[in-house]
Amino acid sequence: MIDRLQELERRYEALGEQMADPAIASDPPRYRELAKAWSDIEPVVRAYRLLSQTTRRRDEARTMAREETDEQLRTLAREEETEAEARLPEIEAELRRLLLPSDPNDEKNVVLEVRAGTGGDEASLFAAEIFRMYIRYAEKRGWRIEPLSVHSTGVGGLKEGIALVSGDRVFSRLKFESGVHRVQRVPETEASGRIHTSAVTVAVMPEAEDVEVQIDEGKELRIDTFCSSGPGGQSVNTTYSAVRITHLPSGLVVQCQDEKSFHKNKAKALKVLKSRLLDIKRREQQEAAAKERKGMVGSGDRSEKIRTYNFPQNRVTDHRIGLTVHQLDIVLDGALDEFLDGLESHDQAERLKEEARV
């Protein structure tokens, strides 16, 4: 590990020298590329230097405690040695965390899909609340939300909501949200007060770039147009602007009717389709490499129940990390950081265990 850290430090210093070159400074694309590489390794180098300084401090204090003739100075040196020795495991743990391989998709925007599952109207109402929860969280983070396809129901619920969420490291923050979210509550229409259980499926997929997913539209796609409609079959417009795209090799179907323009609906549908195809490719690669980790964070499989929202008890429980919060209304208003921080920490801990076993 020390060899790797020394190499990273040399790389860090070389990047700094290159960025100070006037020729590089006058080439914005090249400068941005170098600055990005420099900032990526800066935390590791900073932690490595702190490790070196603390180790040196400990060794100097140890020598002083052994060789100093003044009892008071020896006592101070032993205290300095003890303090530095206690700090080293913490710094080393942080370094190991920083050296973990990063997910290449972490910095990407995401295509977020929320769908009503089992539970009829109650599931669609909960889907609308979950979709709003993510929108509120994105707003608090300063992210941009662009609805791609929203299919509402006649009771004010949501059959399906798809949005592009753009911002700083969105996928890194939301990637563990894929799965089944379960709600337990008494529906307003339930006269006997019986608690019903409904489910919503969430998918968080990295936004696909054109270079990652290439589609031959002429050979691989069937594009159908139709008149868009609102809840319950209500007519929205009478032009054939709504788009349904079928990806023939995979059988995936995506449709979009939110825009009045055929071309805008087609562009949004293609964005969703490419992200779904990239998500399939990403999962296949993960399974082929390691059968995906089976820890508490889970595989992110759509069929896996990850969280329960219990209204009578005012609690939200994440089943993967055993975290329960008794502030359901605040969570549904976008207060997700406690869960997301816990999931990220657990994932890092599991990956560190795997690194130690290798």
Range of the domain at 173: 110-350
Tell me if 323 is assigned to some domain.
Answer: yes
Tell me if 356 is assigned to some domain.
Answer: no
pLDDT in tens, 158-201: 999 999 999 999 999 999 999 999 999 988 767 677 888 999 99
Same domain flag for 138 and 281: yes
Q: Please identify, among 42, 71, 98, the residue that sits at the C-terminal boundary of a domain.
A: 98
Beta-strand relationship, 305-310 and 179-185: parallel
- Name the residue type at position 274: K
pLDDT in tens, 203-253: 998 887 755 677 888 888 898 888 766 544 444 445 678 888 989 888 888
Tell me if 206 is assigned to some domain.
Answer: yes
Same domain flag for 174 and 319: yes
Same domain flag for 61 and 119: no
With 0-12 CB in 10 A as exposed, 13-18 as middle and 19+ as buried, what is 290?
Answer: exposed
Same domain flag for 290 and 189: yes
pLDDT in tens, 16-75: 999 999 999 899 889 988 998 898 899 999 999 999 999 999 999 999 999 988 899 999
Q: Please identify, among 98, 122, 144, the residue that sits at the C-terminal boundary of a domain.
A: 98
- The answer on pLDDT for 108 being more than 80 is yes
Same domain flag for 75 and 220: no
Tell me if 357 is assigned to some domain.
Answer: no
Helical spans, DSSP H, in the chain: 2-19, 22-25, 28-67, 71-98, 120-141, 170-174, 217-220, 262-290, 328-332, 337-357
Task: Please name the residues in contact with 211: beta carbons below 8 A apart, sequence gap of 6 or more.
Answer: none
Task: Please name the residues in contact with 128: beta carbons below 8 A apart, sequence gap of 6 or more.
Answer: 152, 156, 157, 158, 161
Tell me if 105 is assigned to some domain.
Answer: no
Q: How many domains does the chain have?
A: 2
Asked whether the beta carbons of 325 and 315 are under 8 A apart, the reply is: yes
Same domain flag for 253 and 342: yes
Same domain flag for 21 and 77: yes
Same domain flag for 320 and 186: yes
pLDDT in tens, 244-300: 898 988 888 888 887 788 888 888 888 888 888 888 887 776 665 444 334 434 444
- The answer on pLDDT for 344 being more than 60 is yes
Closest residue by Cα to residue 45 from 105, 102, 91: 91
Can you tell me the distance from the alpha carbon of 170 to that of 37, in angstroms, rounded to the nearest whole number? 19
CATH number of the domain that residue 304 is part of: 3.30.70.1660
Judge if pTM exceeds 0.85.
no
Tell me if 170 is assigned to some domain.
Answer: yes
Asked whether the beta carbons of 95 and 175 are under 8 A apart, the reply is: no
Same domain flag for 231 and 336: yes
Same domain flag for 86 and 123: no
Tell me if 104 is assigned to some domain.
Answer: no
Q: Please identify, among 48, 66, 98, the residue that sits at the C-terminal boundary of a domain.
A: 98
Same domain flag for 53 and 138: no
- The answer on pLDDT for 339 being more than 90 is yes
Same domain flag for 87 and 178: no
Tell me if 172 is assigned to some domain.
Answer: yes
